[in-house]
């Protein structure tokens, strides 16, 4: 399959108002892609779109404000994308949310909120857009999973379930679309400095003390600038890479899970546990 051609193509990017999605939109614009940007944050989305229009007046930039946790709204968006953007050559399913708490600390409604955004929206939008993409041989799909789509830590049952689902869906889709000349890349970012920590929810059964400990541990992981992650994703799109691990916090767990598929958590949990104070004399 030849390299993906950005110039003159049209890219749909979800979660485009901040973080990796914003950085991707800016990078794709620099490469000459027309853009269809989706997010639930209207103010931030307008800011990103306005910046791109000012810097690249020859490009078409459309925006759609949608809450992807709403299945009906997502279905309506899918229909709109097909009807209004039949020229689409790149679909980037980037939008995602997090939920902290053990499985018995979250409600089924909270669990479903994560699945709706992180997985069902990916499936709905991709299902609608595949016929469009197949009309443009050389098109491409990017689905953003996570390092938690490689290994599943305690306290992340919902998030890991959604990201493992994205991984499996993407791999099967890649095999199916290969004969149509449409590439598929699944992305596993490690700790990227995005707004996911700000938008994350905590299970209703999690105590304030547990929440604060979890928040601090999560924040320590978020180190890589989103622009750096976006640059790697754009290269992976261009080169049609099937799988992209971003950062040491993704590559190291990937190796660990391969070596210790049934017992990796014992090692990770031991290294992640806070040090105990020394015993008094």
Residues designated catalytic: 159
- Contacts of residue 175, defined as CB under 8 A and 6 or more positions apart, other chains included, come to none
**Rounded CA separation 20/142 (Å):** 13
Percentage helix, strand, coil for the chain under 3-state DSSP, each rounded to 5? 55, 15, 30
**Rounded CA separation 257/52 (Å):** 40
Contact 105, 158 (CB under 8 A): no
- In 3D, which of 158, 220, 157, 222 has the Cα closest to residue 189? 222
Beta bridge partner(s), residue 92: 13, 142
Q: Strand, coil or helix: what is 279? A: coil
**Rounded CA separation 24/16 (Å):** 8
In the block, residue with structure tokens 């689902």: 165
**Rounded CA separation 212/201 (Å):** 12
In this structure, what are the phi and psi dihedrals at residue 4, rounded to the nearest 5 degrees?
-70, 135
């Amino acid at each position: 399959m030849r390299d993906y051609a950005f110039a003159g193509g049209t890219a749909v990017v979800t979660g485009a108002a901040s973080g990796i999605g914003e950085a991707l939109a800016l990078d794709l614009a620099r490469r000459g892609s027309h853009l269809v940007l989706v997010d639930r944050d209207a103010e931030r989305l307008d800011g990103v779109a306005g910046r791109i229009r000012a810097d690249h007046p020859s490009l078409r930039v459309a925006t759609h404000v949608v809450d992807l946790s709403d299945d009906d709204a997502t279905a309506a968006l899918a229909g709109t994308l097909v009807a209004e953007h039949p020229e689409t050559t790149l679909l980037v399913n980037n939008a995602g949310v997090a939920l902290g708490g053990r499985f018995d600390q979250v409600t089924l409604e909270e669990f479903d909120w994560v699945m709706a955004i992180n997985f069902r929206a990916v499936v709905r939008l991709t299902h609608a857009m595949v016929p469009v993409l197949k009309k443009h041989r050389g098109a491409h799909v990017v689905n953003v999973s996570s390092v938690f789509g490689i290994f599943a830590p305690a306290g992340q049952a919902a998030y890991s379930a959604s990201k493992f689902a994205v991984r499996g869906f993407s791999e099967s889709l890649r095999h199916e679309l290969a004969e149509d000349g449409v590439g598929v890349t699944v992305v596993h970012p490690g700790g990227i400095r995005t707004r996911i920590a700000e938008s994350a929810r905590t299970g209703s059964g999690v105590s304030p003390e547990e929440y604060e400990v979890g928040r601090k541990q999560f924040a320590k992981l978020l180190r890589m600038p989103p622009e750096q992650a976006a640059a790697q994703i754009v290269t992976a799109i261009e080169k049609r890479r099937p799988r992209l691990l971003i950062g040491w916090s993704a590559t190291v767990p990937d190796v660990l899970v391969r070596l210790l598929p049934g017992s990796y958590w014992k090692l990770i949990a031991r290294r992640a546990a806070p040090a105990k104070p020394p015993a008094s004399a």
